[in-house]
Structure 1
Amino acid sequence: MGNEYGIHTIDTGFVRQQFDAAYLVVDGDRAAFIDCGTNYAVPRMMAALDAAGLTPQHVDWLILTHVHLDHAGGAGELIAQLPNAKLVVHPRGARHMIDPSQLWAGASAVYGEAVMDETYGRLRPIPAERVVEAPDGHIVHLGNRPLLCIDTPGHAKHHIAIYDEKANACFTGDTFGLSYRELDTDKGPFIIPTTSPVQFDPEALHDSIDRLLAMKPAAMYLTHYGRVEQVERLAADLHAQIDAMVALAREANGKPNRHEALKSALADLYASRAEAHGCLQGRDAMEALVLGMDITLNAQGLEVWLDNEQRRSA
């Protein structure tokens, strides 16, 4: 799927259809990928390039919004197939792309080696000379098209968003929340924040959302999932929910079944907001269809934040 600005949405196929997006940005005969999914998405990335009438030699950049494996796991395999491309990544993420052993070990400790192999495939290191660090304000030149990298912590400390001046749009990674097309109504997109482990920081996330809004973009391109407009309304929705989610986390803290209590409270929050938005699926169907995994991850991330906050104030 492309638009007049040469932006093509690629479904990486991770988890389910229309869940995890990467993008191909084409300007003249030069191209950049933004995010890449897992190893198993690499054929889809190459197919998108072919469909755009381009070859691997036309790709100058692979830009990662952050190094979570659902968006960056395939970076090494993809770069290996792009002879002229360099990887652009937040300075905090660069070492993990050059030597992904720590990323792999951390995730494997949670999920186990077998699940990691099946879900992501082995992580391929990227030669250091092909990695470009993108601090706040770094500009990637795609031909004559500047792509501005903006430091956007809150979801992860190693997160950048990319502002494309030509399209007047931001590629937001996970900073600007999750919005699944199944939950669109005649009021437009429905959105929730993502607070997945382990670096959720509510104040930083509020600030990052405001920084993106200050660019006055016409649209946001989310990794979960696709292009959304109505950006001011969605930003207000995100701000309100971040505060509500933090309040629910504090409320659940100290309960013996904190995780389950928080998951239930989050499900209630999202269901009531979705119903007000005109989503008619109902809470159970909505959890089964799209939000079940997100509710669990959001609860886990909020709990990590709670525990860290308690340690800091101790």
Structure 2
Amino acid sequence: MNWTAKLIVHKTEKRIAVYFEKNADLISRIKQVDGARWSQQKVLWHIPDTIENRERFNIAPLSHSLPSMEGIEQIEKFKQWLRSKRYSQSTIATYSEALKSFLVFYREKPVAKITNEDVIIYNNDYILKNNLSASYQNQIVNAIKLFFMTIRETKMEVDKIHRPKRSKVLPNVLSKEEIKLILDAHSNIKHKMMLSMIYSCGLRSGELLALQPVHIDSKRNIVLLKNSKGKKDRIVPLSPKILEMLREYYKVYKPTVYLFEGRTTGLQYDARSLQLIIKQALQKTGITKPVTLHWLRHSYATHLLESGTDLRYIQELLGHNSSKTTEIYTHVSTKSLQQIKSPFDDL
């Protein structure tokens, strides 16, 4: 791994400090850990001190912290297979660490003899016993399924490996009034432009930062998103109002390689600085909700649905593989709910 971790006490709370050289991929990965925070004072990232995070960063791990020699070799082969399939470095690291946890648990058992029953035992005696999350369990299951697809001699029936039941968490959505307040909060045209692009096009923050001037097609009023999540290109419509804003922004900043560059010409804008922009906007507006950049994307999808856009188009615009992922927005759209009259009104 390219990072080290140790236990610390931060503001009277036990935390795990994670140290690594500044790297956009590692920053993106640490942000995916629930409760991850950046300390300006200590100049480091820190995460909650949980069994799951200790296991993830090899702090006070299981009594045997390494798989068997066979397990180590198999993990290396698995990494090579993932690379040949062109999985991202982030996914390779996540899956190989998840597989390692499973093979540590079965370090005394030959890989060829591991069965579906062993996955159930692992889930009960390790995942559930240590109160690890369903999302972490799901990550392990994904890694196990992929790994055993690459093994010739196995007793494992990959299709029968069961995954945990997903908790139905609704996406966080802001009203159009709240969105307007946030987008108008900054007087700095670059900051305003970045937040406006995320909402108006439903972008992930990484997609915004990867944008280049050539990806803006003003003739066709579209934005080309190259190599987005899942290595897919897609196009999204460009609002005429956004195009006008972009022209003003372009005159002032004259970007070269990336549409939004940091202090160094030709380099991408820093992901952490982008997070600060939304935080500063919230402070200026007085909105106390724990809004993140991804809330803007959720709000974009929900507002499209409420204005009558077909769910299939929204799926295309967001770049979702499955329509089931997009269907979650039907549960937060208030258009139909607002037409329902409460029986309380008739009392």
TM-score range relative to shorter protein: under 0.3
Q: Flag the structure with larger Rg.
A: 2
The TM-score, its normalising length taken from structure 2, stands at: 0.24
The TM-score, its normalising length taken from structure 1, stands at: 0.25
More helix, by proportion = 2
